[in-house]
């Protein structure tokens, strides 16, 4: 496919250039070459194979200068609180145990954003272990992510997922509800991986670890498994996406309730973004949280919280605010 020089991506600490192929077929990730992967929450998959990946070190000079207008939210405080109440009613009725309820912030911009400068600004103002920026005008994908959450890490037949559930300003503010929510999602992730794993290989080496990130802390667990010999990336994504930490449990029930409560599609937010090296059977995909997306003249930024029976509606709203305030500061500076 003929592409322009504007197509590039930053992921895994490397700048990827020289776009060679675009596909929506996940089986390509088990062929050859270095791929960038972006999947929306709703399931649209873009896999881009690049010719060159070089260490990305030019993140100190580029400056973010794109003017951004005021932010609006797909759910205001009252609507979000009502959504939390609805989820608690559905839990009481036995329909579901947990639902991740999200809202999409949107800001008009007078010009298309300089994603390279945004990537640099995020690396300075909100560094993240799974940061990735993808500029693919050939596929209508423009995303800058400062994700702290591991969706899938693959090394040969070894797979690890690192679900995050539980967020607070400090470790002392994490609650019993946060811990229960994390354990619930760990069980869901175990079941998802079990669909493509060697029987008996799924285990949880880390449970409820506290991780510090800019401006907040998270509870993080690790689930690992060994892929069956006949399972590849297509099977792995089919079994696990979208991530359990941004859906709820049971996942099928949570997805139906999300569709009822959220007025705006999530898009790349809560999907997946990262890289795959097919030659070495390795790859790292993040859950696309703390993620900006450029679409139809607007800069989008999603935020959400996991709702359980123990949720306090106002506290859940404040959690959605906490998760994005530093990111908004970055693009407002």
Residues with a catalytic annotation lie at 149, 165
Residue in this structure with the two tokens 């409560």, named with its chain if needed = 261
Rounded CA separation 299/297 (Å) = 7
Which residues are bridge partners to 162 per DSSP? 150
Burial of 290 (0-12, 13-18, 19+ CB in 10 A): buried
Rounded CA separation 192/243 (Å) = 9
Output b/e per residue, 185-200; b: 16+ Cβ within 10 A: bbebbbbbbbebbeee
Reference 326, options 216, 217, 220, 166; nearest CA is: 216
Output b/e per residue, 60-99; b: 16+ Cβ within 10 A: eebebebebeebebbbeeeebbebbebbbebbeeeebbbb
Rounded CA separation 165/100 (Å) = 10
Residue 196: φ, ψ to 5°: -125, 10
Rounded CA separation 123/129 (Å) = 10
């Amino acid at each position: 496919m003929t592409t322009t020089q504007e197509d590039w991506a930053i992921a895994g600490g490397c700048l990827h250039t020289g776009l060679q192929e675009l596909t929506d077929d996940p089986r390509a990730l088990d062929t050859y070459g270095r791929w960038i992967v972006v999947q929306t929450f709703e399931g649209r998959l873009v896999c881009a194979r690049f010719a060159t990946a070089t260490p990305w070190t030019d993140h100190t000079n580029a400056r973010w200068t794109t003017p951004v207008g005021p932010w609006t939210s797909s759910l205001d405080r009252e609507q979000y609180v009502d959504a939390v109440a609805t989820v608690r009613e559905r839990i009481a009725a036995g329909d579901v145990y947990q639902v991740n309820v999200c809202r999409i912030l949107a800001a008009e911009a007078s010009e298309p954003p300089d994603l390279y400068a945004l990537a640099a600004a995020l690396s300075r103002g909100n560094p993240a272990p799974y940061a990735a920026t993808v500029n693919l005008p050939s596929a209508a994908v423009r995303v800058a992510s400062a994700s702290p959450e591991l969706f899938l890490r693959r090394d040969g037949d070894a797979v690890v997922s690192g679900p995050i559930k539980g967020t607070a300003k400090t470790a002392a503010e994490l609650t019993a509800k946060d811990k229960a929510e994390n354990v619930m999602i760990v069980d869901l992730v175990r079941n998802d991986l079990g669909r493509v794993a060697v029987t008996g290989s799924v285990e949880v080496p880390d449970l409820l670890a506290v991780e510090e990130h800019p401006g907040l802390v998270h509870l993080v667990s690790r689930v690992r498994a060994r892929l069956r010999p006949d399972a590849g990336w297509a099977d792995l994504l089919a079994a696990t996406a979208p991530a359990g930490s941004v859906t709820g449990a049971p996942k099928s029930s949570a997805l139906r309730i999300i569709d009822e409560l959220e007025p705006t599609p999530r898009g790349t937010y809560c999907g997946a973004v990262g890289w795959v090296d097919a030659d070495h059977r390795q790859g790292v995909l993040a859950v696309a949280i703390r993620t900006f997306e450029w679409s139809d003249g607007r800069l989008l930024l999603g935020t959400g919280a996991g709702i359980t029976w123990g949720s306090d509606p106002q506290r859940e709203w404040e959690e959605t605010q906490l998760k994005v305030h530093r990111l908004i500061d970055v693009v407002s500076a």
